[in-house]
Structure 1
Amino acid sequence: MNKPLRKASVFTLLLVLSLIVWATYVQMARGSELRDNQHNTRNAIARYANPLGDIVVDGKPITGSRATEGSLRYKRTYTDGKLYAPVTGYASQAYGSNQLEALERSVLDGSDSRLKNPLQAVTREPSEPGDVITTIDPAAQKAAFEGLGNKTGAAVAIDPETGRILALVSTPSYDPGSFAGSSTDDQKAWQALQKDKKQPMLNRALRQTYPPGSAFKLVVAAAALEDGLYGSVDERTESPDPYLLPGTVTKMRNENPSAPCKDATIRTALQYSCNTVFAKMAVDLGQKKVAAQAEKFGFDDSELDIPVRAAKSVYPSGMNDSQTGLTGIGQFDVTATPLQMAMVTSAIADGGKLMTPYLVDRTTDGGASALDRTEAKSYGRAMSEDTADQLRSAMRTVVDRGTGTNAKIPGTEVGGKTGTAQHGENNSGTPYAWFVSYADDGEGHKVAVAVVVEDSDAARADVSGGGLAGPIARAVMRATLA
């Protein structure tokens, strides 16, 4: 063999060897990465080649699948899509999936190894899809959705004894079925939702944080009782009215000038929502003690999964005394999701024990057999049983003859706390209206509820937690206990 031909042969052999090495590397080292890449159309074709399993509420599927004529043979469908979008999320041929549709994807599309029999494990034939059974109570979900109506806001209801999420609503909402396919109409629907300034695809119940306003006073009251700063909710506090914020010339006053807030007890201060009492209480406790109490309720937890990840609710640090005073009324940089505030009232309702909230009861093989089941799990003890008893008593006073009378349910024990939180620079925006509550029918049924109204048709002067959010919470509690 002459020299040029030998060089060409060696070069060609090296190219072949390089190709073999590269192909082996791609298959062995990057196979999973390329297979799972969101731009790999094979994944979408495989996922939508067969009907998906269902997400189920109270024994009835709220999702389905419909045959199409494209390469993606089946399209996801939704029953009452707007009502349940904060629960299901979406599964779109063109835009992927999120929330339960994404987190439980392997069960819903049949790729979960637990769904395969031994023969399918060898042949790699697709398995029948499984189902996802949620904890949602349809009556509570509907009551929250209809109560919020055209308002912008969210509502969460929890079973305090187990942590089961009974309602999870965010408004305005969207229909996940409107863009579940890959047609031009689906694309237009998606683009319209992305451009909508009201952000209907934002899950406000889990992913949006708000200043909790006066609803946060429950956390401060719990800290004061646990610390021993005050021995009971009926012990008089040392609270001037107005209250001069430390290190400033700013005097904090109360919304109701005639309210008996000077040196008021915790019960009276919650009843009339006295800012001066809780601002001074937070300063007297100090930010570390308030923060420690807030964390027991779930604040500053960045890994709260239900299984959908909730945004972190925050109690700030590094504050001076005047800023700490503002946090005592749920302002400054305190932020909370509606889920977080439902957790606060859940712990109070269940004697100080806080259960980890969860949305999925179990996944199944599409029949009666469970693949896994969520067990009720303790998040931790937020406060002593005595403190919880006292706070429930004070919250009942709020509903019986305070700012929360709109939440009364005849024949049922109801406790609550209103909240109106400043919004925008120098409070230029419409205030947020909160109502957090619990109800106990005396027959072993309890529910904890948090409602926030971000925006409504009400005039600014008419915005209040008791007026806007209270009736919604009442409807949810009645629906749940019924």
Structure 2
Amino acid sequence: MIRCVRHAAAFCFLLLVALLVNAGRVQVVQAGSYNGNPANRRIAIARYDQPRGDILVGGARVTGSRDGGGRLRYLRTYANGPLYAPVTGFASQLYGTTLLEGTEDDVLSGQAEELASVPLWNEITRARQRGGDVHTTISAAAQQAAYRGLAGRRGAVAAVDPATGRILALVSSPSYDPALLSGTGTDTTGAWRELNADTAQPMLDRAIRQTYPPGSTFKVVTAAAALQSGEVTDLRAPTRSPDPYRLPGTTVSIGNEAGGCANASVYDAFRVSCNTVFAKLGADVGLAGMTAQAQAFGFNDTRLRIPPAVAKSNFDTAMSPDQVALSSIGQFDTTATPLQMAMVAAAVGNGGTLMTPYLVDSVTNHSGATVAGTQPRTLHRAVSGETAQKLQQLMEAVVSEGTGTNAAIPGVVVGGKTGTAQHGVDNTGTPYAWFISYAKPPGGSSASVAVAVVVEDAEADRADISGGGNAAPIARSVMQAVLAGG
């Protein structure tokens, strides 16, 4: 009898061991595959069984959660959705997350370890951590000024604080309401189809994900390269620049929309935007010098995160001399995001130091305690302080007596550069109107805000004045909003 009991006990022990081994296999070894299985609804149900943390602008919540009553209980809501969509992105129960909703998902969904009031407490108790809040660097007034200025036209605005890299505005137009994508019903799938079929691409974040030929705004980079290399030492000295200018090694010549460009000084050529002068300057500086200067301003950077990824702004590293000349006036294969061109203006306005742009100021837990923050840091020394001062002279002349007078603000020192970027087959497309600028407050020694504006469907002549006519007033309103303390 005892022998039978012993055998039964041993058998039960083996069954228990087998059960524990299998439980370990399921919960540890195969946990990832089970969690990732589309048929596993428990993950989604748990994810949406509590309100999501919020994204804030200037202390005000621009996102929220509402109880939808279904198994996926809480749905994402948005205040002023189209205004802030290029910042927040969307959080959809069907289509996932984008932009800040995506990069900060661990915080917003409560999965980030730093949110716990007591370390490892949630692991011990198995309790769900409430979502934290993400506080952005965006200025509500600047964002609204940019959005109103574009007025539904295709284009984008990016504004930064030159001294810190804080992003003050990111606007893309036309926009969309992220709330349309929050749920799981037919309304959501229908909205998704319509948004993706829209030729205006309202879900494209043009401020950081779309690159454009920068046109004459790139002449800031070319002027910087010429000054840094010693090719130019005196801004007022005449240049040996013919009009028209034959591209090196070709029979192709380029001209100017403005008059008086033959042998014009860099000061005058920048003020009225002479293509011939700056194409020749770029060719004289050469590929290596132009590439180094473009990269010092942030071009060709594939790792920039704000924290959403920013599309690479391109300056080719292998070109013939004629291609270098065209690239030096923002044509050929040179492309830039609006954020990149705001960075160029910011570096000039900040005395030559380019700060790393960032969008998240801090993260707080559900109790309001700050658990993470962003500290300003230098990205590059774009140009020397002496070169920055000379570039400021050039950019401020554009606003005071050149093509950018529409950006002038009484009592404020404003520097800028207009641009009209040709594109399309044989440049037959309607030019993109550009304006980049910075503004110094009265009595200030460095810029408080830098802005880049691009308007895709600008109805304008093929001249730099179109940037001054279509884009400069938008930049002015954004700068005014920031200077007013918005």
- Normalising by structure 2, what TM-score? 0.92
- Relative to structure 1, is the Cα distance of residues 398 and 108 closer, same or farther in structure 2, using a 3 angstrom cutoff? same
Provide the rounded CA distance (Å) in 2 between the counterparts of 1:280 and 1:30.
64
Alpha-carbon offset, residue 44 of structure 1: 2.2
Q: Does the CA contact (< 8 Å) of 2:412 and 2:442 recur in 1?
A: yes
- Relative to structure 1, is the Cα distance of residues 39 and 191 closer, same or farther in structure 2, using a 3 angstrom cutoff? farther
1:32-431 counterparts in 2 under 5 A? 32-36=32-36, 40-116=40-116, 117=118, 118-256=120-258, 259-431=259-431
1:201-245 deviation digits (Å, cap 9, x = unpaired): 000000000110000000000000000111132232221111111
Provide the rounded CA distance (Å) in 2 between the counterparts of 1:317 and 1:133.
38
Q: Does the CA contact (< 8 Å) of 1:82 and 1:176 recur in 2?
A: yes
Provide the rounded CA distance (Å) in 1 between the counterparts of 2:398 and 2:288.
28
Provide the rounded CA distance (Å) in 1 between the counterparts of 2:462 and 2:219.
22
Q: Does the CA contact (< 8 Å) of 2:146 and 2:477 recur in 1?
A: yes
- Relative to structure 1, is the Cα distance of residues 103 and 246 closer, same or farther in structure 2, using a 3 angstrom cutoff? same
Specify the code of the residue in structure 2 equivalent to 1:470.
A
What is residue 8 of structure 1 aligned with on the other side? Answer: none
Instruction: Give me the identity figure in percent.
Output: 54
RMSD: 2.0
Which deviates more from structure 2 when the two are superposed, residues 443-452 or residues 290-299? 443-452
Q: Does the CA contact (< 8 Å) of 2:115 and 2:364 recur in 1?
A: no
Provide the rounded CA distance (Å) in 2 between the counterparts of 1:248 and 1:330.
19
- Relative to structure 1, is the Cα distance of residues 429 and 19 closer, same or farther in structure 2, using a 3 angstrom cutoff? farther
Instruction: Name the SS for the 1:464 alignment partner.
Output: helix
- Relative to structure 1, is the Cα distance of residues 18 and 196 closer, same or farther in structure 2, using a 3 angstrom cutoff? farther
What is residue 471 of structure 1 aligned with on the other side? Answer: 473
- Normalising by structure 1, what TM-score? 0.92
Specify the code of the residue in structure 2 equivalent to 1:414.
V
1:38-85 deviation digits (Å, cap 9, x = unpaired): 775333222211011110000100000000121011100000000000
Provide the rounded CA distance (Å) in 1 between the counterparts of 2:150 and 2:30.
48
Q: Does the CA contact (< 8 Å) of 2:162 and 2:350 recur in 1?
A: yes
Provide the rounded CA distance (Å) in 2 between the counterparts of 1:91 and 1:184.
17
Which deviates more from structure 2 when the two are superposed, residues 219-228 or residues 423-432? 423-432
Provide the rounded CA distance (Å) in 1 between the counterparts of 2:387 and 2:30.
56
How many residues in Structure 1 have an aligned counterpart in Structure 2? 464
Alpha-carbon offset, residue 26 of structure 1: 5.8
Instruction: Name the SS for the 1:206 alignment partner.
Output: helix
Provide the rounded CA distance (Å) in 1 between the counterparts of 2:19 and 2:404.
74
- Relative to structure 1, is the Cα distance of residues 81 and 37 closer, same or farther in structure 2, using a 3 angstrom cutoff? farther
1:275-298 deviation digits (Å, cap 9, x = unpaired): 000100111011111000000000
1:68-108 deviation digits (Å, cap 9, x = unpaired): 12101110000000000000010011111111111111111
Provide the rounded CA distance (Å) in 1 between the counterparts of 2:89 and 2:396.
36
Instruction: Name the SS for the 1:433 alignment partner.
Output: strand
- Relative to structure 1, is the Cα distance of residues 329 and 40 closer, same or farther in structure 2, using a 3 angstrom cutoff? farther
Specify the code of the residue in structure 2 equivalent to 1:378.
T
Provide the rounded CA distance (Å) in 2 between the counterparts of 1:477 and 1:285.
33
Q: Does the CA contact (< 8 Å) of 1:211 and 1:331 recur in 2?
A: yes
- Relative to structure 1, is the Cα distance of residues 269 and 175 closer, same or farther in structure 2, using a 3 angstrom cutoff? same
Alpha-carbon offset, residue 30 of structure 1: 4.4
Provide the rounded CA distance (Å) in 2 between the counterparts of 1:295 and 1:277.
22
Q: Does the CA contact (< 8 Å) of 1:233 and 1:391 recur in 2?
A: no
Instruction: Name the SS for the 2:292 alignment partner.
Output: helix
- Relative to structure 1, is the Cα distance of residues 260 and 183 closer, same or farther in structure 2, using a 3 angstrom cutoff? same
Q: Does the CA contact (< 8 Å) of 1:232 and 1:390 recur in 2?
A: no
Provide the rounded CA distance (Å) in 2 between the counterparts of 1:354 and 1:344.
8
Specify the code of the residue in structure 2 equivalent to 1:435.
F
Q: Does the CA contact (< 8 Å) of 2:420 and 2:462 recur in 1?
A: no
1:250-275 deviation digits (Å, cap 9, x = unpaired): 1110012xx22111121111111000
Provide the rounded CA distance (Å) in 1 between the counterparts of 2:376 and 2:58.
18
Provide the rounded CA distance (Å) in 2 between the counterparts of 1:34 and 1:269.
65
Segments of 5+ residues of structure 1 without an aligned counterpart are 1-16
- Relative to structure 1, is the Cα distance of residues 192 and 49 closer, same or farther in structure 2, using a 3 angstrom cutoff? same
Instruction: Name the SS for the 2:207 alignment partner.
Output: coil
Specify the code of the residue in structure 2 equivalent to 1:131.
D
